[in-house]
Amino acid sequence: MFIDRAKIHVQGGDGGNGVTAFRREKFVPRGGPSGGDGGRGGDVVLLADGSLNTLLHLRYNPRHTAERGSHGEGSNRSGRDGDDLIVRVPVGTQIFDATTGDLLHDLSHDGDRWLAARGGRGGFGNAHFTTSTNRAPRYHQSGGKGEEIELQLELKLLADVGLVGFPNAGKSTFISTVSAARPKIADYPFTTLEPHLGVVDLGDFRTFVIADIPGLIEGAHTGAGLGDRFLRHIERTKLLLHLVDVSSVSGRDAVSDYETVNRELGAYNQELARRPQFVVATKIDALDEPQRLESLKQSALKDMKPFFAISSATGEGVRELVNAVSAKLEELNAQSKRTDTVELTL
């Protein structure tokens, strides 16, 4: 089951108490105070783990408390520090304060760590308070409480390319054709109910990642259909492939579908609507009215967006599209590197 949101409560371990003790040994007159300090409580750390792709394990396990520190002992023995608690989350998880809604951290790389809650300090034993004027203190310090906070976790998948389009536009068939992903494919709308990732192998150890999200319909930004909650999974992508069904059997207006999806992207996030986009006419093997394809092509060219026509069933046009996507990603990566270089120079 794919779960991309979870609320958790994290708490650092409490510190151990110090202790009041006195050294009493034969042949050791006036042994003095010997109460050790308490151990420090463990921290709670969130760790981005590339082997995870869902927050399901946190949905049903929302409370996470690190180990408390051990209490001090006599003979000046300090208590053991509590162990840190590592909470593993998928790469791409954003961490929000559940109370204020503020973004606290973004775990965008495998191995990223974020300290969520510090453990409490250990309390001092009475040996710590010995002075020249107070040689036998009979008090100690209690350990500190660990920090605690409610966190809202939201997963945004990391992919190079995002697929958008109406339900049944052929997105799942396309991703299953070009990658090893095997999403559910059927001839009814909303077959895809959760995002899927696929890795496209270009050879020579070159790959790129595609994200397939559930289809959009008119009014998605107001909650129609499955709404737009899955659009955040393509916010990190560099390029969008806008798939439009032009088959005669669909009975849909391809140009209207194309314009509707772009309006929904803009209503959700203007920056996402301005993302580089390829317009892809799908199911051309079932096209009996060439005018449907030509009308969509003219709309795409009017918007200055590259246009492709493919059939995932027969493979027509698929290789050309994949090669064009690869070239565009190389261009975007080169631009990003130049921008980073200029910023570092400034």
Record the tokens describing residue 24, joined without a space: 């009493």
Last residue of a domain, one of 128, 155, 182: 155
In this structure, the strands spanning 148-155 and 93-97 are antiparallel
Same domain for 124 and 12?
yes
Same domain for 168 and 317?
yes
CB neighbour class for 208 (10 Å; exposed up to 12, middle 13-18, buried from 19): buried
Same domain for 247 and 330?
yes
Task: Determine if the pTM surpasses 0.85.
Answer: no
CATH number of residue 221's parent domain: 3.40.50.300
Question: Would you list the DSSP string of 147-159?
Answer: PEEEEEEEE----
Give pLDDT, residue 345: 57
Same domain for 274 and 317?
yes
Residues 12/117, Cβ–Cβ less than 8 Å: yes
Same domain for 195 and 222?
yes
Q: What does the alpha-carbon distance between residue 213 and residue 196 come to, in Å, rounded to a whole number?
A: 7
Residues 6+ apart with CB under 8 A from 310: 174, 280, 281, 282, 284, 316, 317, 318, 321
Give pLDDT, residue 62: 93
Look-up of token digits 């059939």: 311
Same domain for 232 and 299?
yes
Of 116, 130, 141, 151, whose CA–CA distance to 40 is shortest? 141
Same domain for 242 and 263?
yes
Of 105, 96, 254, whose CA–CA distance to 165 is shortest? 254
Last residue of a domain, one of 125, 155, 185: 155
Last residue of a domain, one of 155, 175, 203: 155
Of 87, 264, 234, whose CA–CA distance to 156 is shortest? 234
CA distances (Å), origin 274, targets 58, 203, 262, 265: 34, 30, 10, 9
The one-letter amino acid at 113: R
Same domain for 40 and 179?
no
Same domain for 114 and 168?
no
Q: What does the alpha-carbon distance between residue 239 and residue 251 come to, in Å, rounded to a whole number?
A: 28
Number of domains within the chain? 2
Same domain for 142 and 172?
no
Q: What does the alpha-carbon distance between residue 167 and residue 88 come to, in Å, rounded to a whole number?
A: 33
CATH number of residue 62's parent domain: 2.70.210.12
- Output the tens digit of pLDDT for each of the chain's 346 residues: 567 789 999 999 999 999 999 988 777 777 789 999 999 999 999 999 988 878 888 988 999 999 999 999 998 899 999 999 999 998 889 999 999 999 999 998 889 999 999 999 999 999 989 988 888 899 999 999 999 999 999 888 778 898 888 888 888 889 888 887 665 554 544 455 567 778 888 887 788 888 887 767 666 556 554 456 677 777 888 899 999 999 888 778 889 999 998 988 888 888 888 899 999 999 998 888 888 899 999 999 999 999 999 999 899 999 999 999 999 999 888 887 776 565 555 5
Residues 75/21, Cβ–Cβ less than 8 Å: yes
Of 268, 279, 342, 282, whose CA–CA distance to 315 is shortest? 282
Domain that holds residue 111: 5-155
Give pLDDT, residue 220: 59
Same domain for 209 and 258?
yes
**Over 60-115, what HEC string results?**
CCCEEECCCCCCCECCCECCCCCCCEEEEEECCEEEEECCCCCEEEEECCCCCEEE
Name the 3-class secondary structure at 326: helix
Q: What does the alpha-carbon distance between residue 146 and residue 43 come to, in Å, rounded to a whole number?
A: 8
Record the tokens describing residue 188, joined without a space: 């009814």
Same domain for 134 and 10?
yes
